[in-house]
Amino acid sequence: MHPVLFNIGPITIYSYGFLIAIGALLGFAYLYYQSKKLYQLTFDQCNTLFIILVIAGVAGGKLFMIFEDPSYYLSNPGKLLSGSGFVFYGSLIFAIPSMLWFFKKNNLPTWGMLDIMGPTACIAHGLGRIGCFLAGCCYGKPTDSIFGVTYVDSTCQAEPLNTPLHPTQLYEAAFIFSIFIFLAILKRKKQFDGQLFLIYLIFYAIGRGVLELYRADLERGFLVKDIISNSQFISLLIISGAFYFYVKLKRRLFIKPYS
């Protein structure tokens, strides 16, 4: 597709990094607007939270790459420091405890803030997946359907070239933005704090588990070879955990204290 957007002299602007940057900026704008409106967070507080999440996301995303191919990355640790390659679930798993720590430290309502973070993640992640599409990573299996996309640029990561592939990156981006729209509609009628974030986790994990069936980048790693990928296993754990907290929080609506 277009792994390189353009060059400015000796500087190369890569589509993946560019879309990640745009997603991060728009995500920050949403985070700042909503958190200031609902909980009076200052710009400095939002900026600190954003920096913490970037650090946690990069660290988690890179660390989880080891699980894709342990022998390769342990023998070539320098590859983890390259500019390409992230595991979203690694970023998410590192970001959640980082957010919880920040909320507690600043005496912020945990579940209410998490409801802001769900849509924020959708913005950044959705644009990031479009970046994946342009770079050719996270590519799909060969297909004869009308949705097939053919990569011809040898600098793309997609394999094989000159063969129609499922654009799983666009499938996921569309799915993520659909979750964002659903959360935006539900926000007006949400029943309890935490509902939006937990629905985001459940819906995304379900969709990700299904989309894994159409992906062909085998280097993403498998818990059971060619049967259950690492991401599908993590999806099951996330669905179970999020569903548990969803039921627990919703039950509080129907439990009234004795007078």
pLDDT tens, position by position, 196-246: 999 999 999 999 999 999 998 876 777 777 788 889 999 999 999 999 999
135-160: per-residue pLDDT in tens?
A: 888 899 999 999 999 999 888 888 89
Question: What is the distance between the alpha carbons of residues 1 and 148, in angstroms, rounded to a whole number?
Answer: 13
Give me the mean pLDDT over the 2-30 stretch. 88
- The residue assigned the tokens 């011809």 is 152
User: What's the pLDDT band for 259 if we cut at 50, 70, 90?
Assistant: very low
Distance, in Å, from the CA atom of 5 to the CA atom of 258, rounded to the nearest integer, reads 63
| 8 Å CB contact between 202 and 243 | yes
Print the domain residue range for 22: 4-137+145-188
Residue 179 lies in a domain: yes
The answer to whether 3 touches 16, Cβ cutoff 8 Å, is yes
Give the helix, strand, coil percentages of the chain, each rounded to 5: 70, 10, 25
* Average pLDDT taken over every residue of the chain: 89
Per residue in 23-35, pLDDT (tens digit) is 999 999 999 999 9
Q: Taking the model in full, what pTM does it have?
A: 0.90
Contact 206, 128 (CB under 8 A): no
8 A C-beta contact, residue 32 and residue 19: no
Does 46 map to a domain? yes
The predicted pLDDT at position 258 comes to 46
Sign for the CA dihedral angle at 70, 165, 23, 38 comes to negative
Q: CA–CA separation, 88 vs 68, rounded Å?
A: 12
Report pLDDT for 194: 96
Q: Are 99 and 114 in contact (CB under 8 A)?
A: yes
Whether residue 81 is predicted with pLDDT greater than 70 in this model: the reply is no
Burial of 241 by CB count in 10 Å (0-12 exposed, 13-18 middle, 19+ buried)?
Answer: middle
Q: What is the pLDDT of residue 82?
A: 56
If one counts the domains in the chain, the total is 1
For residue 107, being part of any structural domain is answered with: yes
Q: Which residues pair with 224 in a beta bridge?
A: 228
pLDDT in tens, 161-200: 999 999 999 999 999 999 999 999 999 999 999 999 999 9
Question: Is the confidence at residue 50, as pLDDT, over 60?
Answer: yes
Q: Is residue 100 part of a domain?
A: yes
Cβ(197)–Cβ(111) below 8 Å: yes
Could you tell me the two tokens for 17? Answer: 């990094």
Whether 234 and 89 have beta carbons less than 8 Å apart is answered as yes
